[in-house]
Each structure stands twice: as structure tokens, then as C-alpha cells.
Amino acid sequence: MPGYCLSNLGTDCPGSQFSPLPLRCPKQASDIKCCTSLPREDPQCAAEGGRCVDERMCLSGRTDSRFCADQPAQITCCLPEAVPKECSAAGGSTCMDQRVSEWIQTRR
């Protein structure tokens, strides 16, 4: 079940739909609960191939703040990683192997 940790004292959680499970937001203040109605999908974000997520969870690193705007500030549209032109032209596993190798190098 998706969710987003935020204060249950405000009105930021649509429908005040908080998870009854206490461990959904560990190590948080007692008023921080898991809002199960966030993040919600945004049709414009989805049309771009993205999903509304916490920006810290966007593995591609490509975000667009124009979408998912009616949600808490940390929720943004996470777009898929751009496919380099050389991969589009060449295709195949060779290009994928190169991209994986480059990705591993950036994580060291």
C-alpha cells in the first residue's frame, strides 16, 4: 500500500486517509502518520511517462515540478531516464551494457 508520511494535524491528507499501522512512518514524531491517499497520480505526469513520487525516491533523477503540483512540495513527477540518441539509433544489448556500466561508474 503506497503512502506518504505527514502530520495528521493538518488538512494535507485528502480524506484524512491515514494508515492504522503504526510502523508505516518509523522514527517520526507522534503526529506523523502515513497518508494512504498520497501520492496520487497526475494525468499530465502519466502522459509524460512519469509517476508522482517523493523526489528522494526518483531513481532516474529526472523530475518535473509542473506536474503533481497539488500535493505536498516533496512530491514531484518522476520521469523515466532519457534514452540517449546513440542508444535509440543502435539499440540492442550493447547500448544497454554501456548504459549500465556508466550508471555503475557514477555510483562509486
Q: How confident is the model over 59-102, as pLDDT tens digits?
A: 888 999 899 988 888 899 999 987 665 565 555 555 655 555 56
Number of structural domains in the chain: 1
Mean pLDDT of all residues belonging to the chain: 81
* Domain around 30: 1-38
For residues 46-50, give the mean pLDDT: 93
43 in any annotated domain: no
Q: What's the confidence (pLDDT) of residue 70?
A: 87
State the pLDDT confidence band at 46, using cuts at 50, 70 and 90: very high
4 in any annotated domain: yes
59 in any annotated domain: no
Alpha-carbon torsion, ordered 28, 8, 55, 103, to 10 deg: 40
52 in any annotated domain: no
CA 96 to chain centre: 23
28 in any annotated domain: yes
